[in-house]
Amino acid sequence: MTKTNIKEELFSDCPIRNILARISDKWSMLILFMLYQNGTMRFNSLRHNIPDISQKMLSSTLRTLEEDGYILRKSYAEVPPRVEYSLSERGKSIIPHIEGLIDWAKNNLEDILNDRKKNSAK
């Protein structure tokens, strides 16, 4: 690895920081995984399945995921308006990585919680 490559990885314009900043928030991966599990979903269905997310945060996160090409938004000219969300090809391509992270978390959660308890007692 050259010095130039190291510099690019350490600064905020590096690709990994740019991507992680957008999908590693509290809701993005959860929404992506929810769409993966359920297929096409409407806004209220997403909100119902993620009960602790606010309407404003769901709207904002969906907009960000759409801007980055992870999800597709399809609106229908009906009364009342109907909008559906689904994974794009890019969104589908990140799912194996999210599943890997979920598996890792399941395998390590107990040890991490024990370490937290030990360290908070110090």
Domains annotated on the chain, with CATH = 26-120 (1.10.10.10)
Rounded Cα distance, 113 and 103, in Å: 16
Annotate 28-45 with b (16+ C-beta within 10 A) or e (fewer). Answer: bbbbbbbbbeeeebebee
What is the rounded average pLDDT of the residues 73-96? Answer: 95
| Cα gap 71→87, rounded to integer Å | 4
Burial (CB < 10 A; 0-12, 13-18, 19+), residue 87, is buried
For residue range 51-70, list pLDDT tens digits in order: 899 999 999 999 999 999 99
For residue 122, the model assigns a pLDDT of 72
* Segment 42-59 mean pLDDT: 95
Q: Hey, what are 78's tokens? A: 């009906």
